[in-house]
Chains A and B, each alone.
Chain A
Amino acid sequence: MSTLAKSGILSLEPIYSYIGRYRFALLLSLFFGVLIYSLGHGAVTISAVEIFAIIAQSLGFDLGLEYPPQYEVILYSIRFPRILLAVLVGASLSVAGASLQALFRNPLADPGLIGVSSGAAVAAAATIVLGNLLFGGLPTEVRPFLLPLSAFAGGLITSLIIYRIGCINGKTYVATMLLAGIAINAITSAMIGLLLFLSNDQQLRDITFWMMGSLSRNTLSGVLPTLPFFLVPLIALPTLAKQLNIMALGEATAGNLGLNTEAVKLSVILFSSLAVGASVALTGIIAFVGLVVPHLTRFIMGPDNRSLLPSSMIIGATLLLIADALARTLVTPAELPIGIITSCIGGPFFLWLLVKKRDLMVQS
């Protein structure tokens, strides 16, 4: 095969894209498998058939299958909002991470590491503690949007700062970018400390639990208003895939190829801040998803953003569903914050990545 490829008679590309499609289908079926499993498992186990029957029932089809009536309540008011959120947050953090990595031209650009998540978290914590003070005059219909909006603004501001500091003349200074991320994380944790100092007991509990990252305590009516904040970047970022591929050549060459690099940069920063902001507003900081998932996906699908970005979403959603299932079941009847699980997996993964990179550098 390789000799044929070398002679130019047989290009490997069609085979790759065939395998690529096949892999994508595999990823999708894995996702749906985990989805059904997550819907069915928890304090009460509901079988896949019963889930199917309940959904069919509510769509108006009676399949004649028996199930306890409280299952419907469990499914719709407890499991469903939580799983919807896990899928949205997993997909959003992953696609934001993959896009930021393409923009910064570096695989270490993770929304958590470079401070975008904590920027969003400060703004959200400020809204929790000082919301009544600052926005007390606003009508109640607007209030569900305040948290995601302020988290988005916080994420956007930190992204712009990081980009300003880490990139000069289209060249990313990785060490500078990561150190700036450390500085921003330090500043934000001081600000969050200050906010904790100002908050009352209930707010203190709220913020602490939320900072560790949690999918619980969200109802469908809490999630639905934030849906556009998730859907806009989930749809918009993959449309930038081709442009992000060309950014891999460097900003100068991308510009010489007719790409409007400024517009691409601005859109990616805007949409990824939106994705991270919405996630942080609802679930707190879930670390390492934006780093681990794009890496894993690049390993399976290759570097082409046209397949990388959608596949990252699927893998991110699947992994977060698994992490959530672990969070719910490891210490039943209590529940672990999901951020602890992702950090437990992501931290070692990050170390492994650093060692691998170091070895590569030593070799060359």
Chain B
Amino acid sequence: MIKAEKLSFNLGCKKLVDQVDLEIRPGELLAVVGPNGAGKSSLLKVLTGEHEHQQGTISINNKNMRHYKRDELARTRSVVNQHTEVSFPFSLRNIIAMGRHPHRSNQDVDNQVIDEAMRMAEVREFTDRIFNTLSGGEQQRGQMARAIAQILPIGSDSKRYILLDEPISNMDLSHQHGTLNYLKKLTEQQVGVLIVIHDLNLASLYADRIAVMHKAKLKLVGTPSEIITTELLENVFRLKADISVHPKYECPMISPIIH
């Protein structure tokens, strides 16, 4: 479990993450939602250690994150950032192979893992293309394949996590669902998944729990049916909407009302 307690992060005198308590449990898909500027990306960057938090603690699998060696941490959790620009004309396969950097495993294991990651992220048909020539959605899928290669193979020794910042923002509808589907499959192998996402209906469909960020604070955490209410939509997102229940999965679905 990744456990954040009383986590705070300021940039100058601006509070970007304020006293956040959050757990990412192995085997669950946790969606972080919130309006623009609520602190979702900052929270993710603090959780990955890219931003150094000023207050609070983060522990991963019951060990303080600060006590991890760099490689050990990189093998335990991987990250897909929002911006994924690559300098120089590396092929996608090169990029995915870089995911194996913290492992020092032999070539056979690496190739096997890379193949598996390419299969899961459905990027096989363009692995030999130059990364920068891929479309935005293809780049996102490619970066995800790299992040999956980074935490495979999933052993029994310790739990693995993957944290993603708006990973499906540039994808078409079918790949959005495809991606959330395989992230869901990863949770079946006891991987903990945190995903920053804007589409509340997708979050409702796929997430086990939803965390709502608002004005740098964690406002609510709970199951989709606990979280997605007309009050929340009005208070946090300033949106009038009806909420119905998905006919098949019985999770809440939002139908916005135009005023």
* Interface, chain A (partner B; CB < 8 A): 5-8, 11-13, 102, 105-107, 242, 245-246, 248-250, 252-253, 255-260, 298, 302-304
Give the distance in Å from the alpha carbon of A359 to the alpha carbon of B16 in the complex. Answer: 41
Selected from A12, A102, A248, the residue in CB contact (under 8 A) with B128 is: A12
Structural contact, A246 and B88, CB atoms closer than 8 A: no
A/B interface sample: 22 pairs, CB < 8 A: A6-B125, A7-B124, A8-B115, A13-B93, A105-B87, A246-B101, A248-B86, A248-B87, A248-B88, A249-B95, A250-B86, A252-B45, A252-B79, A256-B74, A256-B78, A257-B99, A257-B150, A258-B102, A259-B101, A298-B88, A298-B89, A304-B90
Interface residues on B, range: 35 or more
Q: A250 and B81 in contact (CB under 8 A), knowing A255-B50, A303-B90?
A: yes
Structural contact, A245 and B98, CB atoms closer than 8 A: yes
Q: Is B84 on the interface with A (CB-CB < 8 A)? A: yes
| Residues of chain A with a CB closer than 8 A to B86's CB | 248-250
Structural contact, A257 and B124, CB atoms closer than 8 A: no
| Residues of chain B with a CB closer than 8 A to A8's CB | 115, 118, 124, 127
| Residues of chain A with a CB closer than 8 A to B72's CB | 258
| Residues of chain B with a CB closer than 8 A to A259's CB | 70, 101
Structural contact, B98 and A257, CB atoms closer than 8 A: yes
| Residues of chain B with a CB closer than 8 A to A252's CB | 45, 50, 79, 81
Give the distance in Å from the alpha carbon of A217 to the alpha carbon of B75 in the complex. Answer: 55
Structural contact, B102 and A257, CB atoms closer than 8 A: yes
Q: Is B234 on the interface with A (CB-CB < 8 A)? A: no
Structural contact, A11 and B93, CB atoms closer than 8 A: yes
Give the distance in Å from the alpha carbon of A253 to the alpha carbon of B127 in the complex. Answer: 20
Known pairs A260-B70, A303-B94 / 6 extra A-B pairs, C-beta < 8 Å: A8-B127, A11-B128, A105-B88, A245-B94, A249-B84, A257-B78
Structural contact, A303 and B89, CB atoms closer than 8 A: yes
Of B94, B115, B128, most buried by chain A (CB within 10 Å of CB) is B128
Q: Which residue of A lies closest to B124 (CB)?
A: A8
Q: A242 and B101 in contact (CB under 8 A), knowing A8-B115, A257-B150?
A: yes
| Residues of chain A with a CB closer than 8 A to B73's CB | 258
| Residues of chain B with a CB closer than 8 A to A298's CB | 88-89
Q: Which residue of A lies closest to B101 (CB)?
A: A257
Give the distance in Å from the alpha carbon of A257 to the alpha carbon of B99 in the complex. Answer: 7
Q: Which residue of A lies closest to B95 (CB)?
A: A249
Structural contact, A5 and B84, CB atoms closer than 8 A: no
Structural contact, A258 and B81, CB atoms closer than 8 A: no
Structural contact, A250 and B50, CB atoms closer than 8 A: no
Q: Is B14 on the interface with A (CB-CB < 8 A)? A: no
Give the distance in Å from the alpha carbon of A253 to the alpha carbon of B86 in the complex. Answer: 10
Q: Is B199 on the interface with A (CB-CB < 8 A)? A: no
Structural contact, B128 and A258, CB atoms closer than 8 A: no
Q: Is B83 on the interface with A (CB-CB < 8 A)? A: yes
Shortest CB–CB separation between residue B106 and chain A, in angstroms?
A: 16
Q: Is B71 on the interface with A (CB-CB < 8 A)? A: yes
Structural contact, A256 and B50, CB atoms closer than 8 A: yes
Structural contact, B70 and A258, CB atoms closer than 8 A: yes
Give the distance in Å from the alpha carbon of A11 to the alpha carbon of B97 in the complex. Answer: 13
Q: Which residue of B lies closest to A6 (CB)?
A: B125
| Residues of chain B with a CB closer than 8 A to A6's CB | 124-125, 128
Selected from B74, B87, B125, the residue in CB contact (under 8 A) with A257 is: B74
Structural contact, B48 and A256, CB atoms closer than 8 A: yes
